[in-house]
Amino acid sequence: MSDRIEKLINSAAGKKLLGAMGVTVATDLQRYNTSQTSYFAGAVLLGAGENAKLLPNIQTNLKDSDAQVFYSPDAAAQLAGDADSNASSERYQALIFDGSGFVDATELVSAYRFFNANIRKLKSSGRIVILGRPHLQCNTPEAAAAQRALEGLSRSLAKEVGGKGATAQLITVAEGAEANLDSSLRFILSPKSAYISGQVIKVRSADTAAIADWHKPLAGKIALVTGASRGIGEAIADTLARDGATIVGVDVAPMEADLNKVMARLNGKAVIADITSADAPASIAKALSELGGADIIVHNAGVTRDKTIANMNEQQWQMTLDINLAAAQRITAELLKTNTINDGGSIVGVSSMNGIGGQRGQTNYAASKAGVIGYVDFMAQSKELADKNISVNAVAPGFIETAMTAAIPLFTRMFGRRLNSLSQGGLPVDVAETISFFGNPASRGVSGNTVRVCGQSWFGA
């Protein structure tokens, strides 16, 4: 019965009825498909504040797309004859603003003027991208304040345009890391980032690899995915394989049949292991060493054991922390010790929005997922990883449409999926696309990030 009700609500007639009742109707998001010839197509308007340093990098990036580029007067003036001011009444698929030169709050008015004049021209499923500098690396408190202000601006813009399926992000680029902007800008502008909004992507200096084929950026790479037999884990395996990686999938014995089916379909390798067992790190390392080591490590396996803390027994606490957090740390430590993570590799943890904002009845789960973020923050500063040019990041999914969420009562599910700026739940592929972005060899300058894949949830930071 609930399925029939949901199909009716999601039908054209149902959406029309909801609209007549004053209920916000979610815009269908444009997601990536393999037939696309370019990561971005359409009109884009490029604007800038004073002394913008990233304009040449943005311009170079867009030349490799199917973008029709328009320039605001401020941007054109700073490109020294490489561009003419041609902003018009055109409607845009993307608005890009370079605020990297801001050193004082008074200069922020140029950002206001740019978005005030053009935000109504942004198309459905459009993109807003603001570029700045890491505020803690600024030379003065005034510059730090101006740069940090861009985060509040981008998050607020995301909430203003979310109703049309559009998104807004801030990319901060450290001094000297300008050449590493490319992969982040490609990802944010592309349909692969459809369910990400209101986020900050931090780019720092690192050795990055040139990508011969952006449709297969992971070609020749080995990717380990734990919990790969179904749900988000299966989507991660599918997406990394689509992008060229060979998959080593790990899951427990009861999921062996499902895991074997997935790995057979992807021409991958199945490893049956309980990641909490004492011998799991060594057995996983052995399987990877037989393939020449791993380039991408995705710690996806996880469980929930929901109870309020007064009603939770210690075993429920320990199991959740061990599977979701401690096991991933032990596996990573073993792979580093045995040099089974190749130089230039990537480690990705799967956190959760509830690890950021907390949740009643999930003290164990929230603690474990917050721990993933802490682990990423610390390891991103690790000399051991820096010496091997290994990046480490996390994704924090919000309401993702899976078999687990499908079991939630209908109206609770309908309410829960709408509690974000895009007014809808995400798909497992949205999480997977973000992980593939982190795993891309051109993204080694992207490290220490926790990116929420939540449609800009109303809850959490």
Contact present, 353 and 460 (Cβ < 8 Å):
yes
Residue among 39, 92, 365, 375 flagged as catalytic: 365
What is the DSSP secondary-structure string of 64-128? TTEEEEEE-HHHHHHTTTS------S--EEEEEEE-TT--SGGGGHHHHHHHHHHGGGEEEEEEE
Quote the DSSP letter at residue 192: G
Q: Catalytic annotation on 365?
A: yes
Name the phi and psi angles at 105, rounded to 5: -60, -30
3-class DSSP state for residue 422? coil
Q: What angle (nearest 5°) sits at the alpha carbon of residue 289, between those of residues 283 and 293?
A: 120
Residue 258: CB atoms within 10 Å: 16
Nearest Cα neighbor of 112 from 153, 159, 144, 147 is 153
Burial 408-443 (b: 16+ CB within 10 A, else e): eeeeebbeebbebbbbbbbbbbbbbbbbbbbbbbbb
Cα Rg, the chain, nearest whole Å: 22
Quote the DSSP letter at residue 457: B
Active site positions, annotated:
365
